[in-house]
Structures are given as structure tokens and as C-alpha cells.
């Protein structure tokens, strides 16, 4: 089901949680609402679900206005941040709940419910937990049961609030991939909220970046990463080095490959992997030296220090593949020369 | 006793607990048992089968049960209101709940009797409209015991309601449940054990309550005479053995009833996965 948001606005007292949000989500997408905490992403998700009312604007599901419909009539599945499993019910009863509360005419027979619940438990690969209570499950298991429970009512939209927020890192990695696969399998329009840009990049087909209640940018992960709309998006997605033409040593920047004769802005954002690190021909004259490095697996992140004209040192991050780092055989304190291959300019 | 405990002090604390329990609870209660042993089984049976004694047991336990039941219902509603809704004067109202704990029960009894007697403020209205007399009837005992029992229920249910994860209600609604279904299937099962505890406390307090009841009950033998009053009456007639016999019986019945409530609680918790 497609989702359309028209001019959504929401205030909490004097604080504008959401300001004029317009968004179109086509059927079958897996969308991430990404932003720092307090940016209004969870509020937006809850407004789409009908758990909260917007002050202004409309929510359209499949073209029909559901703004005034309560959550139970919207045919949505909602997965809560802390799962909100019914702790007095077994896993089986949790998943069956949505089927059992249907009006008598629509309610499936008990054998149908049994079949359906076991099918869902198999889908989330936890059939052996049917008789357990939520308190006896691990975080990752609870998460998957919450998802199975939401799917039981065959929602046309699936909404997930920080679905991996409360899980430890390794479980989170597995579940991200699993959610992506599940989405391929079911193809139900899904929106999830996250503050983790890596998670959004890894799972979503579309990312909506929010800040201060406004949409900063919307697009595929590569669009967002490769051509950020503005300063905020560029800083928020991935690592970036920020050079300010006025403050930074502009002759050094020019030497490092940035064209400053006709700059397209006053601030240059450079991704660490867009900085090429070389051994300089004249080490004594290079203002940059290697302070430290971090081993991130396939790549090495170099922490470089550049002496400023005013005596203040700035830190620059650069990244290179493991092999290249080994070939260069760098030591801490080595002088280096940098070549900037690509920069984003903002005002 | 394994030595692996982080906090020392198992021996002194257990010792203190047992000593305290013995000094304050077990020794006085066993004195009760010993005293009643002066009676033969026949005498004991005679006392208990006495019609007036039996009537007072009926009055005491039935009115305590009814009052605890009503207090459980009202207490639940009050706790719900206090936890869920903001309203002006909420803190004051919250403080008022505890008043029956602190008020001398005799004061409560006199005030209740004055208000609910056939010529009292409320008693007159009820008398005129419904033709029902509250004070000086068994109904008056129930009223007094509700007053006494209410804070027990409110104070046991309140913290559990506060802790209740409201996301569970939202989850139920998102799965298509209406408000009644959400209340019955989600909220109630989570609050029931605490409500049962409150009920048991209110009941236990109600059975033993003396001060407030005697002023409002009318104390008619066979009709509105409670067991504690009968015990006092026996004592005043220097019938110590008779008094202890009744006291012991009351103790046993109360203990069994509380055991039953505990078992019920255990069963509810187990069924709802809280054990």
C-alpha cells in the first residue's frame, strides 16, 4: 500500500516536533526514517500508525484519507521499540492475539489460527518457542516475535520503531540482513525509524533524513551518500572532514587538490576515502603527520594532524585499504602529503 | 551456608528475623493456643456451636468479604484514576487516600455512624429514597470496613499500574483490539495479582477490625455483632477460656482464607507467566 503525507505538522507546547512534512512512499518500498534523537522521526511514524494525531495535515493510505481513523482501522502492523509483547501470554498467544480479537464473523477457526501462528513462527524461525513467555526470551527473539505478531493480521503497511535499538551489535547485524530478506519475501510497504545511518544504508531501499522536524533529503542510500543536499546530511551520513575556506589554510587546500579559485561554497566536505595519502617528496615542508590509526577490518582509518598557520592543529581523517597501508609501511609521526580527490561544497 | 554471598550477614539477619517473629508473633499466638487447651474438646465444641457465636462469625466473615470485594473494585478504579489522568488537586486527593491508615478507627466509626444513621446527612437521603437503613445494621459494618480497607487496595495496585507498559495497550490496538478487549485481555491480567493482594490485605484487616465497627454496627446479638466484640464481651465476663477459644478459631479461619488467596494469586501469576 502506498503512503502519502500532506503538510503534516505537530507541536508539543512551543516545540515544533514536525513542520510541514510532505512525503510520498510508493508501494513495496523499505524506507528508513533517519535522524538524530529528537528530530521527530518516531512522532512521524506514530502519526502514520494513528497512535498519535497530527495537528495539521493528512495521512493517506493507498489514496484514501485515514487521518481521522483510529489505529485499529488502519491495517498497519507496528513493532515497538521495546517490543511491547504481552508478558502474561505465551509466544503463541501473543501472535494469535490479532486473530482472536477479530469480530466473530471475520475470526478464523481455532485450527486456522493454529496453522497461521505456526507458519509465522516458522517464518521468524522460532517455532520451538511457542509455549514460552516473553520474559524467557532473548532480545533478538523478542524482536522477531513482535514482528511475527504484527504480521499475523496481514497488515498492508509495516511500521517499525527503532527495531534494532535495544539489541547487541552482533544480533543487530544478523537481524538487519534478515529484515531485508523478509521484506523481499513479503513485499509489504515498510517504514522503520533509526538514528543509525549505517543501519539505514544497509537495510533501506529509500532513506528519508529528518532534522528538527523537517525533511532534509530523501533518496536511495547511494544518492544520499554520494550527493548530500546540504551540510547536515553530509555530516550525518558517514564520516566527513569539514574544511572552511576562511579559517583553513587555503593555500594548503589548493595544494591538496581542492580548486579554490572558483569555489562552489564556503565549506568543503571531504569523505575520508576521498583523501589520497602519499609519502611526500619533501617531508620537511609537509604540515601533515600521522598521529594514529585504527584498524577497521578491510580498511584502515588514519588520524592525521595538520599544523595550522595560527599554531592550532586540526585533525583530518583519511581511509585506505589494508594492503595499501601495509605497502606504505607508515610509522606514527611520519610526514605525509595529501591529495583530495573529491569534495562537496556547501554554503 | 555457602560463602559465596557478596553481602555478609546471613546469620545475624536470619537470627534477628526469627527472634522478632518469635517474640512478636509466635509466642503470643501459642499462648492463645495453650490457654484454649484448658478447655476439653466438648467444651470447645459447645462454645463454637453456640448460635450467637456462630452468628457473629457469619457477620464478621461475610461483611469482611463483601467489604474487601467492594474495596478491591473501588480501589482499582481510584488507583487507575490517580495513575492515568492528571487533574487539579491530585496530590491532595492522593494524600487523603492514606487517611484511614492514620485516623484512630474509633473516630472513623463515630463519624461514619453520625453520617449514615437514619437522621444523618447521607443516611437520611438513603432512608428517604431507597428505604434502606445503613448505620446500626450489618450494612453499616460493610461501610466501615470499606472505609478501612480501601487504602490497602489503592496502595498495592497503584505501583503496579504505574509500572504497566502502556505500549502493550497500543500494541493491542494496532492489532485490531477495541478498548474493552484491550482492558479485559491485556490490562486486567497484569493487574489482577496486585488487586488480589490488596483484597487479601483489606479482608484480613476487616476481619480483625474492632474500633470503627462497634460504633456503626448497632451490635445486636445474632444480627450485627462481630466476633471481636463477642471476645471482648466474654473477657468482661471473666470467661477467658471462652474468649481464647473463639480467638483461636478466628485465627485458624483467617489463616486458611489468606492461604487460599495466596494460592489463587500463585495460580494467576503462574497462568500469566509471571512466575
How confident is the model over A222-232, as pLDDT tens digits?
999 988 988 89
The residue range of the domain holding A114 is 3-236
Our count of domains for chain A comes to 2
Give burial (CB, 10 Å; 0-12/13-18/19+) of A344: buried
Chain B residues touching residue A160 (CB < 8 angstroms)? none
Question: Do residue A42 and residue A181 come from a single domain?
Answer: yes
Domain boundary at A169, A201, A236, which? A236
Do A253 and A309 touch, CB atoms closer than 8 A?
no
pTM score of the predicted model: 0.81
Q: B164: which 3 cell numbers?
A: 504497566
User: Furthest-apart CA pair in chain B: how many Å?
Assistant: 72
Chain B residues touching residue A134 (CB < 8 angstroms)? 273
Helix (H, G, I), strand (E, B) or coil at A295: strand
Going across the sheet that includes A267-270, the strands are A241-244, A267-270, A344-346
Question: Do residue A121 and residue A212 come from a single domain?
Answer: yes
Q: Is B189's CB within 8 Å of A88's CB?
A: yes
Q: Domain boundaries in chain B? A: 40-272
The C-alpha atoms of residue A60 and residue A63 are separated, in whole angstroms, by 5
Confidence at residue B242, expressed as pLDDT on a 0 to 100 scale: 86
| CATH assignment of the domain containing A269 | 2.40.50.100
Question: Do residue A118 and residue A248 come from a single domain?
Answer: no
Question: Do residue A264 and residue A231 come from a single domain?
Answer: no
Q: What's the pLDDT tens digit per position in B137-181?
A: 889 999 999 999 999 999 999 999 999 989 999 999 999 999 999
Task: Confirm or reject contact between A133 and chain B (CB < 8 A).
Answer: yes
State the Cα angle at B50 between B44 and B52, rounded to 5°. 135
Domain boundary at A175, A202, A236, which? A236
Q: How far is A273 from chain B (nearest CA, A)?
A: 43
- Give the residue from B257, B274, B239, B233 showing the smallest Cα distance to B61: B257
Partner-chain residue, chosen from B165, B173, B273, that has the shortest CB–CB distance to A71: B173
Question: Do residue A134 and residue A245 come from a single domain?
Answer: no
The residue in chain A having the minimum alpha-carbon distance to the alpha carbon of residue B173 is A72
Q: How far is A24 from chain B (nearest CA, A)?
A: 22
Q: In the Cβ-directed half-sphere of B61, how many Cα atoms lie within 13 Å? A: 15
Q: What's the pLDDT tens digit per position in A73-132?
A: 888 999 998 999 998 899 999 999 999 999 989 899 999 999 999 999 998 889 999 999
- Of chain A, the percentage scoring pLDDT greater than 70 comes to 96
Q: In the Cβ-directed half-sphere of A169, how many Cα atoms lie within 13 Å? A: 1
Question: Do residue A85 and residue A175 come from a single domain?
Answer: yes
- Give the residue from B260, B262, B231, B261 showing the smallest Cα distance to B248: B231
Question: Do residue A121 and residue A162 come from a single domain?
Answer: yes
| Element at A126 (helix H, strand E) | none
Q: A67: which 3 cell numbers?
A: 487521518
Task: Confirm or reject contact between B190 and chain A (CB < 8 A).
Answer: yes
Check pLDDT > 80 for residue B7. no
Average pLDDT over residues B129-135: 84
Confidence at residue A59, expressed as pLDDT on a 0 to 100 scale: 92
Secondary structure, 3-state, A248-268:
CCHHHHHHCCCCCCCCCCCEE
Average pLDDT over residues A45-53: 93
Do B76 and B195 touch, CB atoms closer than 8 A?
yes
Q: How far is CA B215 from CA B132, B141, B212, in A?
A: 18, 9, 6
Domain boundary at A182, A209, A236, which? A236
Q: What is the ipTM of this complex?
A: 0.83
Question: Do residue A214 and residue A333 come from a single domain?
Answer: no
| CATH assignment of the domain containing A184 | 3.40.50.300
Torsion, Cα of A133, A139, A142, A148 (10° steps) = -160
The C-alpha atoms of residue B205 and residue B202 are separated, in whole angstroms, by 5
Question: Do residue A202 and residue A257 come from a single domain?
Answer: no
Question: Do residue A204 and residue A153 come from a single domain?
Answer: yes
**Which superfamily does CATH assign the domain made up of B40-272 to?**
MetI-like (1.10.3720.10)
Amino acid at each position: 500500500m502506498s503512503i502519502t503525507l500532506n503538510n503534516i505538522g505537530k507541536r508539543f507546547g512551543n516545540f515544533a516536533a514536525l513542520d510541514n512534512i510532505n512525503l510520498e512512499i510508493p508501494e513495496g518500498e523499505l524506507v528508513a526514517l533517519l535522524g538524530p534523537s529528537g528530530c521527530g522521526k518516531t512522532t512521524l511514524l506514530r502519526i502514520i500508525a494513528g497512535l498519535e494525531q497530527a495537528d495539521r495535515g493528512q495521512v493517506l493510505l493507498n489514496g484514501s484519507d485515514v487521518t481521522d481513523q483510529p489505529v485499529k482501522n488502519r491495517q498497519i502492523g507496528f513493532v515497538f521499540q521495546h517490543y511491547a509483547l504481552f508478558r502474561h501470554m505465551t509466544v503463541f498467544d501473543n501472535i494469535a492475539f490479532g486473530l482472536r480479537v477479530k469480530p466473530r464473523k471475520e475470526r478464523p477457526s481455532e485450527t486456522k489460527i493454529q496453522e497461521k501462528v505456526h507458519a509465522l513462527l516458522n517464518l521468524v524461525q522460532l517455532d520451538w518457542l511457542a509455549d514460552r513467555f516473553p520474559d524467557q526470551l532473548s532480545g533478538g527473539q523478542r524482536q522477531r516475535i513482535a514482528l511475527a505478531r504484527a504480521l499475523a493480521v496481514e497488515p498492508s503497511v509495516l511500521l517499525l520503531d527503532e527495531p534494532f535499538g535495544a539489541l547487541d551489535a552482533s544480533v543487530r547485524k544478523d537481524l538487519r540482513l534478515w529484515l531485508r530478506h523478509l521484506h523481499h519475501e513479503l513485499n509489504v510497504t515498510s517504514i522503520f525509524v533509526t538514528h543509525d545511518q549505517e543501519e539505514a544504508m544497509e537495510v533501506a531501499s529509500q532513506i528519508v533524513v529528518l532534522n528538527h522536524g523537517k525533511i532534509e533529503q530523501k533518496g536511495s542510500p547511494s544518492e544520499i551518500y554520494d550527493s548530500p543536499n546540504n551540510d547536515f546530511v553530509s555530516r550525518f551520513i558517514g564520516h566527513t572532514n569539514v574544511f572552511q575556506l576562511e579559517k583553513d589554510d587555503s593555500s594548503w587546500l589548493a595544494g591538496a587538490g581542492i580548486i579554490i579559485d572558483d569555489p562552489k561554497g564556503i565549506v568543503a566536505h571531504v569523505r575520508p576515502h576521498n583523501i589520497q595519502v602519499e609519502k611526500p617528496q619533501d617531508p620537511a615542508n609537509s604540515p601533515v603527520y600521522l598521529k594514529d590509526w585504527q584498524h577497521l577490518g578491510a580498511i584502515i582509518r588514519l588520524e592525521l594532524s595538520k599544523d595550522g598557520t595560527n599554531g592550532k592543529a586540526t585533525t583530518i581523517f583519511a581511509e585506505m585499504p589494508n594492503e595499501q597501508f601495509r605497502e606504505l609501511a607508515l610509522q606514527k609521526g611520519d610526514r605525509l602529503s595529501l591529495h583530495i580527490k573529491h569534495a562537496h561544497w556547501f554554503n | 551456608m555457602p560463602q559465596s554471598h557478596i553481602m555478609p550477614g546471613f546469620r545475624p539477619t536470619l537470627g534477628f528475623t526469627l527472634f522478632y517473629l518469635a517474640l512478636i508473633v509466635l509466642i503470643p499466638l501459642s499462648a492463645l493456643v495453650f490457654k484454649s487447651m484448658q478447655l476439653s474438646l466438648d467444651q470447645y465444641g459447645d462454645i463454637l456451636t453456640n448460635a450467637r457465636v456462630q452468628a457473629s462469625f457469619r457477620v464478621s466473615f461475610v461483611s469482611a468479604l463483601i467489604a474487601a470485594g467492594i474495596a478491591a473494585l473501588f480501589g482499582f478504579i481510584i488507583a487507575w484514576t490517580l495513575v492515568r489522568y492528571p487533574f487539579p488537586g491530585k496530590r491532595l486527593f492522593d494524600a487523603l487516600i492514606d487517611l484511614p491508615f492514620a485516623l484512630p478507627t474509633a473516630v472513623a466509626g463515630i463519624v461514619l455512624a453520625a453520617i449514615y444513621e437514619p437522621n444523618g446527612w447521607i443516611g437520611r437521603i438513603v432512608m428517604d429514597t431507597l428505604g434502606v437503613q445503613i448505620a446500626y445494621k450489618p450494612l453499616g459494618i460493610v461501610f466501615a470496613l470499606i472505609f478501612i480497607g480501601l487504602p490497602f487496595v489503592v496502595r498495592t495496585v497503584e505501583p503496579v499500574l504505574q509500572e504497566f507498559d502502556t505500549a502493550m495497550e497500543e500494541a493491542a490496538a494496532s492489532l485490531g483490539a477495541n478498548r474493552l478487549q484491550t482492558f479485559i485481555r491485556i490490562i486486567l491480567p497484569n493487574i489482577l495479582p496486585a488487586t488480589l493482594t490488596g483484597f487479601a490485605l483489606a479482608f484480613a484487616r476487616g476481619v480483625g477490625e474492632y474500633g470503627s465497627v462497634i460504633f456503626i454496627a448497632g451490635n445486636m446479638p445474632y444480627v450485627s455483632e462481630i466476633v471481636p466484640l463477642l471476645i471482648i464481651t466474654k473477657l468482661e465476663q471473666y470467661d477467658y477460656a471462652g474468649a481464647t477459644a473463639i480467638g483461636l478459631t478466628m485465627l485458624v479461619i483467617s489463616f486458611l482464607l489468606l492461604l487460599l488467596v495466596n494460592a489463587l494469586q500463585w495460580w494467576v501469576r503462574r497462568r500469566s507467566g509471571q512466575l
